[in-house]
Amino acid sequence: GAGVSQSPSNKVTEKGKDVELRCDPISGHTALYWYRQRLGQGLEFLIYFQGNSAPDKSGLPSDRFSAERTGESVSTLTIQRTQQEDSAVYLCASSFIAEAETQYFGPGTRLLVL
Amino acid sequence: EDQVTQSPEALRLQEGESSSLNCSYTVSGLRGLFWYRQDPGKGPEFLFTLYSAGEEKEKERLKATLTKKESFLHITAPKPEDSPTYLCAVGSNFGNEKLTFGTGTRLTIIP
């Protein structure tokens, strides 16, 4: 079946604008994860969902970041009042259940804040 | 706090020249150690999961091994298509489903 998909693939925005990033997980995967990858750095955990609930929001860097998931499927990561330091690749992953070992990643959304 | 350190940061090899990449980790109860490869402009692609010291897994020219403190990814007779960044990550048993990643090793295979 299809892998994890993300949209848009690239996003350029102006400082202060809001952006929404979308993730479609692999069908049947109940767990969904968001990570951020800054240039030259490792992947940084942001948030994960088990079903539609988010047991762990500890990685969200500020209250400008929020995420939701509906129908145990699509997830949206919203960044309000974007700052230049938000520029990064935002990666989404999914797994069959949260305790499963393997997270499968999408291609990412490259966000550039000018 | 879980930590992962990968070395070297970058490695250049001649085609056919075997080598090993290192991943050192500290974690509160290892749930699994994961190797991914990441080509430029793409998301990480899963390679292996290792669960306990002494475990080994192989796939084509790659072999991953695990000890209590580190993992090695051995690359045998690499080809130019083996030139992505290799990422190592650990998962913890203690109530947190996230993976903690290292910064990766950028591998370049020269024809």
Q: Determine, for residues A108 and B34 on separate chains, whether the beta-carbon distance falls below 8 Å.
A: no
Residue B86 Cα, gap to closest chain A Cα (Å): 11
Q: What is the DSSP letter of A26?
A: P
A24-44 tens-digit pLDDT: 999 988 899 999 999 888 899
A88 CB near a chain B CB, below 8 Å? no
Q: Which fold has domain B3-110?
A: Immunoglobulin-like (2.60.40)
| Confidence at residue A101, expressed as pLDDT on a 0 to 100 scale | 65
The dihedral region occupied by B68, where left means phi > 0, alpha psi between -120 and 50, and beta the remainder, is: alpha
Could you tell me which residues are beta bridge partners of residue B12?
Answer: B108
**Closest chain B residue by Cα to residue A56:** B96
| Confidence at residue A28, expressed as pLDDT on a 0 to 100 scale | 87
Count the helices and strands in chain B (H runs, E runs): 0, 11
Q: Determine, for residues A33 and B97 on separate chains, whether the beta-carbon distance falls below 8 Å.
A: yes
| Confidence at residue A72, expressed as pLDDT on a 0 to 100 scale | 83
A49-89 tens-digit pLDDT: 988 998 888 899 999 999 999 988 999 999 999 999 999 99
**Closest chain A residue by Cα to residue B98:** A45
Helix residue ranges per DSSP H, chain B: none
Binned at pLDDT 50, 70 and 90, residue B26 comes out as very high
- CA–CA separation, B21 and B47 (whole Å): 14
Domain boundaries, chain B: 3-110
Q: Look up tokens 């490259």; give the residue.
A: A110
Among A4, A41, A45, beta carbon nearest to B98: A45
- CA–CA separation, A66 and A20 (whole Å): 10
B65-85 tens-digit pLDDT: 999 999 999 999 888 888 899
Whether the CB-CB separation of B32 and B91 falls below 8 Å is answered with yes
Query: How many Cα atoms within 13 Å fall on the side-chain side of residue A52?
Result: 5
Binned at pLDDT 50, 70 and 90, residue A100 comes out as low
Among B4, B42, B46, beta carbon nearest to A107: B42
Residue B102 Cα, gap to closest chain A Cα (Å): 5
Q: Which of B107, B97, B89 is nearest to B36 (CA)?
A: B89
| Confidence at residue B95, expressed as pLDDT on a 0 to 100 scale | 59
Among B41, B49, B101, beta carbon nearest to A102: B49
Q: What is the DSSP letter of A28?
A: T
Q: Determine, for residues B43 and A33 on separate chains, whether the beta-carbon distance falls below 8 Å.
A: no
| Confidence at residue B80, expressed as pLDDT on a 0 to 100 scale | 86
Domain boundaries, chain A: 5-113
Does the pLDDT at position B22 exceed 80?
yes
> Which CATH architecture best describes the domain A5-113?
Sandwich (2.60)
Q: Is A7 exposed, middle or buried (0-12, 13-18, 19+ CB in 10 A)?
A: middle
Q: Which residues of A touch B49 (CB under 8 A)?
A: 101-102
Q: Could you tell me what percent of chain B has a pLDDT over 90? A: 76
Q: Which residues of B touch A104 (CB under 8 A)?
A: 46
Does the pLDDT at position A1 exceed 60?
no
Does a cis peptide bond (omega within 30 degrees of 0) precede residue B84? no
Could you tell me which residues are beta bridge partners of residue B65?
Answer: B56, B72
**Measuring CA to CA, how many Å separate B1 from each of A27, A32, A100, B4, B94?**
33, 22, 21, 10, 11
| Confidence at residue A35, expressed as pLDDT on a 0 to 100 scale | 96
**Closest chain A residue by Cα to residue B106:** A40
CB pairs under 8 A between A and B: 61
